[in-house]
Structure 1
């Protein structure tokens, strides 16, 4: 990675990570929707220091080359899912018509806080899983996957 992030894919099992870090089942519920909406896409645990300097573990779905404003493109994921201290985060690295899909779908998802490519929510019950499915399938289509 370039810039402020040193995130890298690991060989760790996503299922083992979920078993150890998902006491309330929220990660597994969202993981199931994303996995179903992106059949055949990679599902990899990324670890490292994310933008802003925080240590992170992110489940990344779908391999992409992410263009960087300065420098060459980097390997990244199309959709990511992470547990933060007080919320869960979705990262949607898909753009259509110059706008991140997180901004397009965020208001329809429910009780969320939407950033440029991120969506934060406290509990899985706060989001509409049907809208999540639509957003993830749409993200796949932006990179040529027919989902």
Structure 2
């Protein structure tokens, strides 16, 4: 099955209003990274065990690990969770940057080192979320 089909099925499988919010986020991120690679991770490890929520990734970067190894991975990702939606902005070195820079203007969201969680798009300032994602994209562009 193609990545596009997996993504569309994943989003379509979400209950409303989360489905509509995920569709809108998908559109927003495609506008930010129009020619970026799409990723779909089903949340299962090599043995088929569920280890995380499925997630959709956008763009490409080289992740650098503490042991010196590198791995190609996405720049921005989205995932549905029981409480709402998570947006992952990966590769930012300063783990306090997102919270310090965007946290107070985001609205009703929890911000960690690389994750912004919220219940619904209506609860947050979407322009601030777009600015945070664009910052991450700019920091990790290959």
TM-score with structure 1 setting the length: 0.77
For 2:79, the equivalent position in structure 1 comes to 82
Instruction: Give the corresponding residue for 2:63.
Output: 66
**Root mean square deviation of aligned Cα:** 2.4
Query: More strand per residue: 1 or 2?
Result: 1
How far apart are the structure 2 equivalents of 1:108 and 1:19? 30
More helix by percentage: 2
Provide structure 1 residue ranges, at least 5 long, that are not aligned to the other structure. Answer: 1-9
SS of residue matched to 2:65: coil
Partners of 2:114 and 2:96 in 1: CA distance? 6
Instruction: List, as ranges, runs of 4+ consecutive aligned residues in structure 1 with deviation greater than 4 Å.
Output: none
Q: Which residue, 55, 75, 82 being the options, matches 2:52?
A: 55
Give the length in aligned residue pairs. Answer: 133
| Uncovered stretches (5+) of structure 2, i.e. residues with no partner | none
- Give the corresponding residue for 1:14: 7
Counterpart in the other structure of 1:102: 98
